[in-house]
Structures are given as structure tokens and as C-alpha cells.
Amino acid sequence: MIRRVFWLVLGFGLVMWGYGQTAPHVQSGSGSGSSSSVENPNAPEITFDHEVWDFGEVPEGPKVRHDFYFTNTGKEPLIIQNVRASCGCTTPYWPREPIPPGGRGKITVEYNTQGRPGAFVKTVTIYSNAKTPTKVIRIKGVVVRKEATGTPERKTPFGSPTK
């Protein structure tokens, strides 16, 4: 048992020592502190008309949607590779074809209000080949609880129904 622990500790120590022996990152270039990656001056750029949409108060139940319009203000075609919502209650729809320079497109964001009363703020992250490869847009609002039809019976902690 002691031998096993000894070999485990020795092996772990050797592995950690090996990781500590890696060469430090050396930046190539003139040494002026400039990055080794060169930014493409013609790269596409995604510019939204607005990046936040406030639905205000919406009733619980129906899905609400908003279209976020954007323009490719770069000099090369914009390709949206993926769009991800912050949770399953939000669904984004986006163009799959490249947006030419000067072209416009839209990302539609749909929020399911069913069973979600109260304030909400949801983010949608866009992944593209733009100068800024990730861009975040947001929706927000307040879902107003649906009024129940009739007065449901509720039980008190002691088990007798109340109205």
C-alpha cells in the first residue's frame, strides 16, 4: 500500500515537473509588442440597427418575436456560422447564405412566454467571420401572469380547502 502511494506521488510530481519545463511563449515579430496575427482590413463587419429589444409587458402564453436587422459594413461577404441563445426558451433564426458587402440580413429571435411569468433578459450570441467574430444581442421584457379562469381551490397547510 505504501509503495503504491509512493509511486503515485512520484508519478504525479514528475508529470507536474514536466509541465513546468515548457518553454515560455516567445512572440515573433519586431519586438514592438505588436501581435503576430494581422487583422484583415477588408474583413466583413456586422452592424445592427439596434442590439437590445425591450418587449415591455407581454401576456403569458404566446411566443413573442423580434427581427434584428443588420448590415455587412465590411468589404468581404459575411458568413454567420452559428447563433446560440442563452436558454431553451429562446429560439434564433438566421440567414444561412453569405451576406455581400453592403447587404442586409435579419436574425429573428423568438421567446416562449408559456410558464415564465416575471422579468426576463435573454442573450443571443452570433458567431461569424466578421472582424469581431462574436456579437451579442439581447431581448428583455416582463411576462404578465395569465389570469386563471375561476377561483381554484387551494389547500391550507392543514389540509382543508380554501377559496
Residue 91 lies in a domain: yes
Question: What value does the mean pLDDT of the chain take?
Answer: 82
Percent of the chain's residues with pLDDT above 70: 71
> What are the C-alpha distances in Å from 83 to residues 1, 49, 94, 105, 133?
53, 18, 7, 14, 12
- The residue whose grid cell reads 456560422 is 81
pLDDT at 147: 76
| Domain-located, residue 24 | no
- Count up the domains in the chain and report the number: 1
Model pLDDT for residues 59-118, shown as the tens digit of each residue:
999 999 999 999 999 999 999 999 999 999 999 999 999 999 999 999 999 999 999 999
Instruction: CATH number of the domain at 138, please.
Output: 2.60.40.10
- Give the domain range for residue 99: 48-143
